[in-house]
Each structure stands twice: as C-alpha cells, then as structure tokens.
Structure 1
C-alpha cells in the first residue's frame, strides 16, 4: 500500500533524513521506532505533504505523493493522528468529528461506539476535554476521514496508563477489522503483539527492520536503538 524509498529531507541547511526506506502493506500494522530526534515525525510530515522531501519517493497505492499538498495526501487515503493531538479547541466534540469527515465505513455512530466518552461529551469544546479525551477525539477525527492508512504519531505519549490501555485496545480492534496502520510510539511492550513489522531509525536512516518476533528476541538491538 505504502512504499517509501530513498527518502531524504532537510530543514533549511540541516539534513534530517538520509535515504529512508520502509513500507506498509494492506491490512498491516507497521511501526517507525527510534529515540527522539531520529527523524520519525519528519518522515510523517513528508508523508502528509507538510514537508517537501529533498529526494526519494513516496508511493501510495502506486501513485507518487512527493511534492503533493496535504489535501491530496488526505484525499488519497492517509489519515493522521498528529503528535500533540491538535484538535480544534473552539469546536465541540461533534464539530471536530464532522469538520473533515468523508463518507464511508466510519460514521459518527461508529466512532461513538468505539469511544463512548465522545458521545457523552459531544457538546463539550475541545478546551474542556482531558488529555485522554482529546486523544480519543483526535483518533476519531482521523477515522471520520475514512482513511486507507491510519498514521498515529505518539498517540499514547503523556497519557495515564488506563487511557493508554484503551488506545491500544482500539488499535487492536482496528487491526482485526483490516485497517492498515503506521504507528510511531515508544511503548514497545504494547507494539510487539500488535505490529507485523518494525523499522528502527537512527539519525535519519534505517538501522534495522524486521518482525515482532525478531525484535522481541534481540534485547541488545532494543537497548542499542530504543534504550534511554
């Protein structure tokens, strides 16, 4: 579904990505892992057209996305849950959900079934929600675009353990339904049983890629690229 090859990117004269390669298949859950500052969010910004790569290719269902504006990436079927949630603070929960909605499998009723708290808080403004509620809203908003590939950038960061567990439960349900997902997160214990493949990034390059079984079996690899 998604094929990224030789991706390079910079902020001004500062080079961040150095020929990155990774892929996500239809119905697959894949990850981008690495310490802070290694290029994960920059990769997501390139996928979504928020940052123009300096080289390489981003092909989604065979169509090249490099150089495309964000709205084209969204129309192609990429749905983003951005780092920091970035919900619309002065819109209600329901207005947030329908603001960028497209017709398809995901509707208001289905999102409310997935996150019942959003039904209870449907008239609340974004500023009136807790961090966990905002994160559920950000995921629901992305699902309302009916994406072919759902991208989550640090969706559990800073959340209470019970809320994190709820997010992982939802991602498990989405995977079971056949939703393709790309996850950037630090919670390896939750990612190993969920993801089909992992890509570890070190200083803007692929340091390792492989399956959950391979990553789980290599403690030295985890410590080298993911340890504090």
Structure 2
C-alpha cells in the first residue's frame, strides 16, 4: 500500500480530535473520507500532510506511513517532496500571484507542466495573467488542482473537492478526477457529493467522532442505506 494510516490520534490543545483512524490507499486507487462536518476528516488530512502544528494541533498516537517512510514528525515541506500533493479546503491560491505564477510556484519536474495543466483546464490558459484573487471560485479550484498536479504527486489529496461550486463547474471537476483515475493517479478525496464519489471511488472510509467506523467499496455503501443514514444523513 502507498499510504497507511493506523490508529491515528490527534489533538488540538486538550481537545482530542482523532482517536483511532485507520485506512490505506494503494497505487492507482481512489479512496474517499466521508462523514458529517466536524468528525475529523480535515484533521486527518492535516495530520498526513504535516500541517497540524501550524493549526495548533499535534499527532498524539498511531502511525502514518508513505511507501514505508513514517510521516510524523517530518515537516510539511519534506512530506510534500515525498510525492503528496494537496488541494486544501478553501483552495488557498496565492492571491497576489498570477495564475501562471501560482502554477509554477511549487512545481517539480515531471509529466505535469504548464502545457499539461492548461490542456486539463483550458480556462486557466485564458486567465493565465489574472491574479488569483480575481478568479471565480470555480477557477480558483481549477487552479488549486492544477497547482497540486504541477508538484507531480504520486498521491493527490483533495479536501472538499467541489464544495460551493456551481453545477457546471462541479461536473467539470468530476470529469477531470475521472480522467486522472483512468490514467492511474492515486487519489484521497473528501467530498459531500455522495452520488459522484460512489461513481468515482474504489473504496470509502467513514469517520465518526474521530474514528474510522466503516470501510468498503462503492457497491457495498450504495447497498447499505442504514449506514448512509446513520453516519452521512443521506
């Protein structure tokens, strides 16, 4: 397995946020983290990427490994260099840099370069000289995905991939993620659009109150209305 998370525990100050998250992501797999708001999904992503300290948090137990390399206590920049690319919640594009400057700011050599990013998102080519702060929400999300891909990650992580986007933009993002999956890109994904993730993902992990409580393939989740009602309220 490429990514292994075992009995992960994490806290913000005296508040325990995670107390037993376990899952894996294999090469070429698409895996989702599902659950209601505040259950620990984003904290799990922050722990994987080494971002908890910047949020006043810390890993307090368990293990995270990427191709056998333990991630905590590595700093975030070293974790990224191992081949993990993040599309963060809220997009977090550089507001005073142009689209093109955003794309190349953290780029690393590999298949994904400017031309490949522009081919994936033609709108970014049209807006390449616009500042990040002047883009629409959908364009910022395209930019955030393109920027993450320009690091040429082995594992692409997206936190709230389509939240708050217009339906047409959401459809475009899902089409792009489908293409990436078909090309063998490993993806770890958080999103509330259950119908879309059921079509895209290989497996799903449900997190409830800081613990992983269910895991299975799309067919199993689609056939379990009681699980969806209990943990996802859908």
**Both structures adopt the same fold (TM-score exceeding 0.5):** yes
Partner of 2:9: 8
Question: How far off its partner does 1:207 sit?
Answer: 1.2
Partner of 2:67: 61
Question: How far off its partner does 1:31 sit?
Answer: 0.5
Question: Structure 1 residue runs of 4+, over 6 Å off?
Answer: none
How far apart, CA to CA, are the structure 2 residues paired with 1:114 and 1:93? 14
Partner of 2:109: 103
SS at match of 2:59: coil
How far apart, CA to CA, are the structure 1 residues paired with 2:86 and 2:24? 16
How far apart, CA to CA, are the structure 1 residues paired with 2:110 and 2:166? 32
1:114 counterpart = 2:120: yes
Partner of 1:49: 50
Question: How far off its partner does 1:97 sit?
Answer: 0.1
1:166 counterpart = 2:137: no
Partner of 2:216: 210
Q: Where does structure 2 lack aligned partners over 5 or more consecutive residues?
A: 53-57
Question: How far off its partner does 1:220 sit?
Answer: 1.2
SS at match of 1:54: strand
Partner of 2:204: 198
TM-score, with normalisation over the residues of structure 1? 0.99
Partner of 1:184: 190
**Matched length:** 228
Partner of 1:38: 39
Partner of 2:55: none
SS at match of 1:22: strand
RMSD of the alignment, in Å? 0.7
Question: How far off its partner does 1:155 sit?
Answer: 1.5
